[in-house]
Chain A
C-alpha cells in the first residue's frame, strides 16, 4: 500500500523538547519512513541532545554526518551549528552559512529543502518556540503539495512559533500533542 508520506520533519525551539520526546516515544518501534528533527539549541557545547532524546524515547536518534543517506526507520537530529539540507538523491548535506531567523540549524532551511525533494510526500510538524523560524518552511511544504500541522498554541510553552506559522498559513490544522501522535500513528499504519 502506498504510504501517505515519505518523510516526517519536525521543528521545535524553546519548550519543544518534552513534546518531541513524547511524540517520538509514542511512534511505532519500526518506522516506515525517516524522521528528521530540527531543534534550536546551544552551539559549541558538547552535544548531548541526541543521547538525551534517545534515552527519553527508547529509540535511537542520530546526528547525521555530511552526505549520509536518509534511511527509513531512522530518526535524525540536525547537528548543532549547521543547517541540515536534503539532496535530491536522498542524502543529507550540511551547510555552515549565515543564520536564518537567528538560528542555525534553521527549521525553515530544512523544511524548504525537504519540500523540494519530497513534494507531496513531505509531512511537517511545527512545535513550541519563541521566534518565527519554521513559518516559511511550512509555507514551502504546503506550496509543494505536502502536508503540515502545527502544535496548538494553547498547548505550547512558547506559542510564538506556532502562532506565526498559523498567521501566515491560513487554515493549517492546529493539534494538541496527543492529537499529533494519534494523527501520525494513523497515517503510519495504513491498516488501521
Chain B
C-alpha cells in the first residue's frame, strides 16, 4: 500500500504557484480533479510521500520538475482516434481547404504526433499535402522530440490500421511506414511538411493564421476560465471562415465567444469561425 498523503486543494494550489514562480510553467488554471490524480501518481512514482517532500524536491532539483512535467502533460494519443472524426474532416472540411493555394493547419497539443501523422495521410490521399504546411505544437519538449523522430512501436500499428480503415481509408496502411525491428518509422514524405515545436497554450501567443486548427483532448485538462481564455487564442489564430476541431466531448458553447463560430459537426465538435 502506498503511504502517499494526498494534497488538499490548498496545497495543490500552492505547489502549482511554486512551480510557476520557479520554472515559468503555469498550471494553476488546470482542472483540479485530474491534476490531483496526476500529482498523486507523480508523488507515488517518485517516492515523495508528503506535501513537504514534494515542495522541497521541486525547489531543490530541476530534474524533479522535469519528471513532474512528464507526469502532468498526459501524452496519451493514438492514430485516427475517433475514426469518424477524420472521416468528417475529409468530407466536410477538405473540400473547403482545397480552395486555398496554400493551406496552413495547426495541431495544438499534438503529444507525440500520432494525430498529426493521421492528418498528413488524409491530406496526401486528397492530393493536398504538398501545398499544406502543418504546425504541430505541445507544451512538453520531450513529446516534440519524439514526434520529430516519427517512430512508434509496431505493436500499436494493428490498432491504428483498424482505425484508419474505420475512418474510410482504403489504401494499404503499411505503405505509410517502414518497419524496423520492433518499430514503425512514419514515411519521410508524410513528415516533410510538418513543423514540430514547443508552444504553451496558456502563456504563448498567436504565431500564425490557419485555415484549420485542431486542439483535441487538451482543454479537458483546463478549468472553465482557462478554457475560455485559450479559446480566444484559438479563435484569433484562425483565418476568417477557418475551421476549429475540438475533441468529441469538448464544447465551446458555454464560452463567451460561442457566437463567433458556426457549428459544422455537433457530434465531432467541428466549428467554423465567422467572417
By a CB distance below 8 angstroms, the chain B residues around A45 are: 166
Q: Does B32 contact A (CB under 8 A)?
A: yes
Structural contact, A44 and B249, CB atoms closer than 8 A: no
Structural contact, A87 and B249, CB atoms closer than 8 A: no
Nearest residue (CB) in A for B224 is A67
By a CB distance below 8 angstroms, the chain B residues around A86 are: 33
Q: Does B76 contact A (CB under 8 A)?
A: yes
Structural contact, B251 and A44, CB atoms closer than 8 A: no
By a CB distance below 8 angstroms, the chain B residues around A79 are: 248-249
Category for how many chain A residues contact B: 20 to 34
Q: Does B137 contact A (CB under 8 A)?
A: no
Binds A, one of B16-24, B80-88, B128-136: B80-88
Instruction: Please judge, given known A-B contacts A44-B166, A95-B37, A96-B220, whether A65 and B83 are in contact too, CB under 8 Å.
Output: no
Instruction: Please judge, given known A-B contacts A94-B220, A96-B74, A97-B74, whether A44 and B31 are in contact too, CB under 8 Å.
Output: no
Q: Does A93 contact B (CB under 8 A)?
A: yes
Instruction: Please judge, given known A-B contacts A44-B83, A46-B84, whether A85 and B34 are in contact too, CB under 8 Å.
Output: yes
| Contact for B76 among A85, A94, A96, A109, CB less than 8 A | A96
Structural contact, B251 and A113, CB atoms closer than 8 A: no
Q: Report A85-134 residues with CB < 8 Å from chain B CB.
A: 85-88, 93-98, 109, 113, 116
How far apart are the CA atoms of A170 and B150 in the complex, in Å?
49
How far apart are the CA atoms of A68 and B250 in the complex, in Å?
10
Structural contact, B34 and A65, CB atoms closer than 8 A: no
How far apart are the CA atoms of A88 and B13 in the complex, in Å?
14
Nearest residue (CB) in A for B33 is A85
CB distance from A84 to the nearest CB of B (A): 10
Per-residue interface assignment for chain B, residues 186 to 220, with 1 indicating a CB less than 8 Å from any chain A CB and 0 otherwise: 00000000000000000000000000000001011
Structural contact, B220 and A95, CB atoms closer than 8 A: yes
CB distance from B71 to the nearest CB of A (A): 10
Instruction: Please judge, given known A-B contacts A44-B166, A66-B249, whether A87 and B9 are in contact too, CB under 8 Å.
Output: no
| Contact for A64 among B34, B83, B84, B249, CB less than 8 A | B249
By a CB distance below 8 angstroms, the chain A residues around B163 are: 44
How far apart are the CA atoms of A68 and B37 in the complex, in Å?
20
Q: Does A5 contact B (CB under 8 A)?
A: no
Q: Does B227 contact A (CB under 8 A)?
A: yes
How far apart are the CA atoms of A85 and B217 in the complex, in Å?
14
Structural contact, A66 and B219, CB atoms closer than 8 A: yes
| Given A95-B37, A95-B220, 16 extra CB contacts under 8 A | A44-B80, A44-B166, A63-B249, A66-B219, A66-B251, A67-B31, A67-B251, A68-B251, A85-B33, A87-B32, A93-B220, A94-B220, A96-B217, A97-B38, A98-B76, A113-B33
Going nearest first, the 3 A-B pairs with the smallest beta carbon separation are A85-B33, A97-B74, A96-B217
A-B contact pairs, 6 of them (CB 8 A): A46-B84, A82-B220, A88-B9, A94-B249, A95-B74, A95-B220
